[in-house]
Amino acid sequence: MSGPIVVDSVAALRAQIRDWRQDGQTIAMVPTMGALHDGHISLVRIALEKAERCVVSIFVNPTQFAPTEDLDKYPRQLARDLDRLREAGAHLAFTPSVAEMYPAGFATRISVGGPSSGLETDFRPAFFDGVATVVAKLFLQAAPDFAIFGEKDYQQLCVVRQLCRDLDLLVEIVGAPTVRDSHGLAMSSRNAYLGETEINVARKLNAVLHQTAAKLASGADEASAISEAVGALIQAGFRKVDYVAAREAVTLGPWRRDRDGRLLAAAWLGTTRMIDNLEIPSA
């Protein structure tokens, strides 16, 4: 099986998209920062089910990293990523440089309100502006019919949906279930930072969220259940908990028992920050 077409310029990307469009083919896009794992490959498979051509972007986006975050050490393994895309059947890999995406004089940022409020924004204030800006650029560059995002980054998924609604972007956003290992740990490129002992602790994050969601669904006091979850994570070995929060599933506003909810968490293992979320069934 031949590998995907690899292009690193917007002009080359658009030329290939134009050829496919002239042949009447539909296009699905999977935006990534590379270091592809089984979770990413599950998104590619969904893209191939949705459309006739699958485009995967691989770009470590500097505008969503704060100066204190892990931009320089974020895993980059393009050759391996291309092998994985070949095996998965992706048709094109878009691998732009920072200069291609943010040329000299670039001065525009997109800020999305609503679901970006709180949670990640409380700890990474510039994060969603960076995400919204790069995603909008990718959608304008590739003009896909569909874009596939994992539910693991649930707040990001909500922000991208808001972005497309508000700016009338003609892209259908497809949320894909989180891919987990046999112990429930959500797949993440940052898992590569963890040693064996830390992996065992990390696997407890999802277990605590399951316990907490069950308590909330059965009528437990929200504040007490959240406090118990934070304590359980610290006891399990997490160094610090940024948040555990119950939110309304679509808007990420305050959770109400008569609506579907989402339980979201972010916690630190050593110098690695883990996030996860899961559904809270409605009453």
Q: Is 189 annotated as a binding residue?
A: yes
Q: Is 152 annotated as a binding residue?
A: yes
Q: Is 221 annotated as a binding residue?
A: no
Q: Is 150 annotated as a binding residue?
A: yes
With b for 16 or more beta-carbon neighbours within 10 A and e for fewer, the 199-214 pattern comes to: eebbbbbbebbeebbe
Q: Is 64 annotated as a binding residue?
A: yes
* Residues 72 and 26: beta-carbon distance below 8 Å: no
* Inter-axis angle of helices 78-88 and 38-50, nearest 10: 40
Structure tokens at 151: 């539910």
Q: For residues 210 and 229, what is the distance between their CA atoms, to the nearest angstrom?
A: 10
Q: Is 184 annotated as a binding residue?
A: no
Q: For residues 92 and 76, what is the distance between their CA atoms, to the nearest angstrom?
A: 18
Q: For residues 212 and 224, what is the distance between their CA atoms, to the nearest angstrom?
A: 10
Closest CA to 211 of 241, 187, 232: 232
Q: Is 179 annotated as a binding residue?
A: yes
Q: Is 141 annotated as a binding residue?
A: no
Q: Is 282 annotated as a binding residue?
A: no
Residue in 40, 91, 183, 210 annotated catalytic? 40
Structure tokens at 63: 């505008």
With b for 16 or more beta-carbon neighbours within 10 A and e for fewer, the 107-143 pattern comes to: eeebebebbbbebbbeebebbbbbbbbbbbbbbebbb
Q: Is 225 annotated as a binding residue?
A: no
* Residues 111 and 159: beta-carbon distance below 8 Å: no
Q: Is 34 annotated as a binding residue?
A: yes
Q: Is 274 annotated as a binding residue?
A: no
Question: Residue 40 catalytic?
Answer: yes
Q: Is 24 annotated as a binding residue?
A: no
Structure tokens at 272: 């690695």
Known binding residues for beta-alanine: 64
Known binding residues for ATP: 33-40, 150-153, 179, 187-190
Which residues are catalytically annotated? 40
Known binding residues: 33-40, 64, 150-153, 156, 179, 187-190
Known binding residues for (R)-pantoate: 64, 156
